[in-house]
């Protein structure tokens, strides 16, 4: 009936530090500082659920391809688990475990009633047609019907997934539930119960904590110089909003390359150019530089908003920035942390810096449940307040324990989840 089965194993990505080990190294340091009880330590390091599911679809040419899908729920002590779904060739269970744990800590830091989860499908989305992507998403959702749910586990967009992906998940889940369940995913299109400001939320959060950090160092936004790596949903918005704050953005990059202009880029012009040309690599009046050179530019603020493992033990010593605001998840390896600390670079860790996305996801979920939608102004004002509070709390915790902001953020989060666990107790 079908043409020959065709299973393609994506090429392995080499030289990647194990993200779960990277996460655990920081977790261990924070747990030690906190004097965490051993039983609670063991509880919190183990994900509550790890699902690996085989996702077969019929390709456009009639053949069958089988993809591997994952959903890891790290923890649901604070509430339903929350976290994105990514489509990429290097998706692995270890990566999902690390990203799911980061979601637990992220939600605790910004004080929203969610646990942490992450999911993904090992695939190369660039090689799939829109219809293949739709079938892949719907079958993945169908396989996870008993995991997802507005009170159980709520996916959102992540790398290579978007509003359309969320609409397919919502529709598939709703078809099986025999009613429209908007609250089962966030990051939906506005027309389907999405929230104002959700698309820009992660980049806006990066801008909010970056300007707070600049202020701490006594640098005025108008005098600040920034470099942004990555021009996707996070990097482009962060760069645009920093530019609006008067920050001079001298370096930018996307998957095709990096560009530099000592006078600073006009961000609306760059965004316009990228919309038309799909890439910023050939933007006029800019010097083309390598990704390594971009990261090593002299600046006040470096925003790695591309992917994992960009700042490593190999290049950390060459960085010439004063602040790093981690727009991506896990852009700095655990081995690079002490080098950055030694250099006196203030690192705003991913679990704080990019928490604006999940914060507005929470607003979206609340609005879906109320059936009452907020203005953009209300969303942005509340986001600003919550990101500021989180920044101040992380700063205070780091000062109290005399540790870098990253460990301060972990301590704050682990302490909150551990205290909640103690009150709930262990069901037996
Ligand atoms: N994928 C985003 C993150 O890593 C958003 C998750 C969400 O909104 O649930 O934070």
State how far the alpha carbon of 189 is from the alpha carbons of 109, 163, 313, 355, in Å: 27, 5, 40, 20
Span from the CA of 254 to the centroid of ligand 1 (angstroms) = 21
Q: Taking CA 156 as the corner, what is the angle to CA 331 and CA 295, rounded to the nearest 5 degrees? A: 20
Atom of ligand 1 nearest to the CA of 158: 1
Span from the CA of 159 to the centroid of ligand 1 (angstroms) = 10
Question: Which protein residue's CA is at the shortest distance from atom 8 of ligand 1?
Answer: 358
Could you tell me the two tokens for 32?
């030690």
Could you tell me the two tokens for 92?
């692995």
- For ligand 1, mutation pick of 361, 362, 387 (most atoms within 8 Å of CB): 361
172-188 per-position pLDDT tens digit: 999 999 999 999 999 99
Span from the CA of 191 to the centroid of ligand 1 (angstroms) = 20
Q: What is the pLDDT of residue 31?
A: 96
Atom of ligand 1 nearest to the CA of 154: 9
The pocket around ligand 1, CB under 6 angstroms, is made up of: 82-84, 156, 158, 186, 329, 354, 357-358, 361
For residue 212, what are the contacts with CB-CB under 8 A and spacing of at least 6?
A: 388, 391
Going by C-alpha positions, the residue among 290, 349, 291, 299 that lies closest to residue 319 is 299
For residue 20, what are the contacts with CB-CB under 8 A and spacing of at least 6?
A: 94, 95, 97, 98, 101
Q: What is the pLDDT of residue 16?
A: 57
CA distance 164 to 268: 25
273-308 per-position pLDDT tens digit: 999 999 999 999 999 999 999 999 999 999 999 988
Q: Taken in order 210, 103, 156, 196, is the CA torsion positive or negative?
A: negative
CA distance 186 to 280: 29
**Residue 141 parent element (H or E):** helix 130-143
- For ligand 1, mutation pick of 71, 72, 73, 84 (most atoms within 8 Å of CB): 84
Low-confidence residues of the chain: pLDDT under 50: 1-15
Atom of ligand 1 nearest to the CA of 155: 9
Span from the CA of 282 to the centroid of ligand 1 (angstroms) = 31
CA distance 96 to 86: 9
CA distance 201 to 382: 11
Span from the CA of 121 to the centroid of ligand 1 (angstroms) = 16
For residue 366, what are the contacts with CB-CB under 8 A and spacing of at least 6?
A: none
Atom of ligand 1 nearest to the CA of 354: 10
Residues annotated as part of the active site: 118
> How many other CB atoms are found less than 10 A from the CB of residue 314?
13
Domains of the chain: 47-192 (3.40.50.10860), 195-368+376-428 (3.40.50.720)
């Amino acid at each position: 009936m079908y043409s020959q089965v065709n299973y393609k194993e994506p090429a392995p990505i080499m030289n990647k530090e194990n993200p779960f080990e990277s996460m655990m190294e920081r977790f261990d340091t924070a747990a030690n500082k906190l004097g965490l009880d051993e039983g609670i330590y063991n509880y919190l390091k183990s994900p509550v659920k790890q699902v690996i599911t085989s996702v077969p679809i019929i390709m456009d040419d009639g053949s069958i391809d089988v993809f591997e899908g994952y959903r890891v729920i790290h923890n649901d002590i604070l509430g339903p688990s929350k976290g994105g779904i990514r489509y990429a060739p290097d998706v692995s269970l270890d990566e999902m475990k690390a990203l799911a744990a980061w979601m637990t800590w992220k939600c605790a830091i910004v004080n929203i009633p969610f646990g942490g989860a992450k999911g993904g499908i090992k695939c190369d989305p660039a090689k799939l047609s829109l219809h293949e992507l739709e079938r892949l998403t719907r079958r993945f959702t169908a396989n996870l019907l008993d995991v997802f749910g507005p009170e159980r586990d709520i996916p959102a967009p992540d790398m290579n997934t978007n509003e359309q992906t969320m609409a397919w998940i919502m529709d598939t889940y709703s078809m099986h539930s025999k009613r429209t369940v908007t609250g089962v995913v966030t990051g939906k299109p506005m027309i389907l119960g999405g929230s104002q400001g959700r698309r820009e939320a992660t980049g806006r959060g990066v801008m909010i904590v970056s300007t707070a950090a600049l202020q701490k160092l006594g640098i005025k936004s108008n005098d600040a110089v920034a470099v942004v790596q990555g021009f996707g949903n996070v990097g482009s918005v962060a760069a645009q909003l920093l530019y609006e704050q008067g920050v001079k953005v001298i370096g930018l990059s996307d998957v095709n390359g990096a560009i530099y202009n000592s006078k600073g880029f006009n961000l609306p012009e760059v965004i316009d150019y990228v919309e038309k040309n799909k890439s910023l690599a050939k933007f006029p009046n800019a010097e083309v530089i390598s990704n390594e050179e971009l990261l090593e530019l002299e600046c006040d603020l470096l925003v790695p908003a591309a992917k994992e493992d960009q700042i490593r033990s190999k290049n950390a010593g060459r960085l010439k920035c004063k602040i790093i605001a981690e727009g991506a998840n896990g852009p700095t390896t655990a081995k690079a942390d002490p080098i950055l600390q030694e250099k006196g670079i203030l690192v705003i860790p991913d679990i704080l810096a990019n928490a604006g996305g999940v914060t507005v996801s929470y607003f979206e979920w609340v609005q879906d449940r109320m059936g009452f939608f907020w203005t953009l102004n209300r969303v942005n004002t509340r986001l600003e307040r919550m990101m500021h509070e989180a920044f101040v709390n992380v700063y205070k915790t780091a000062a109290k324990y005399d540790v870098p902001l990253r460990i301060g953020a972990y301590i704050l989060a682990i302490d909150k989840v551990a205290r909640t666990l103690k009150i709930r107790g262990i069901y037996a």
